[in-house]
Amino acid sequence: MTYLYAAYIATWVIHIAYLTSLLRRYSRLRNEINELREKH
């Protein structure tokens, strides 16, 4: 069972890490968009 849980946990850790990186990139982009709007 240890190997089974390890595989399932590893799968979701990789997915969650990638989704978190996407969210970070999105929020960074939002800040840049706000900065551009403030300039105008």
Q: Which residue stretches of the chain are H helix?
A: 2-39
Asked if 11 interacts with other proteins (CB under 8 A), we say yes
Burial track 26-40 (b if 16+ CB lie within 10 A, e otherwise): eeeeeeeeeeeeeee
Asked if 1 interacts with other proteins (CB under 8 A), we say yes
φ and ψ at residue 38, rounded to 5 degrees? -65, -30
Residues between 14 and 33 with contacts to other proteins, criterion CB under 8 A: 14-15, 18-19, 22, 25-26, 29, 32-33
| Residues near other proteins (CB under 8 A) | 1, 3-4, 6-8, 10-11, 14-15, 18-19, 22, 25-26, 29, 32-33, 36, 39
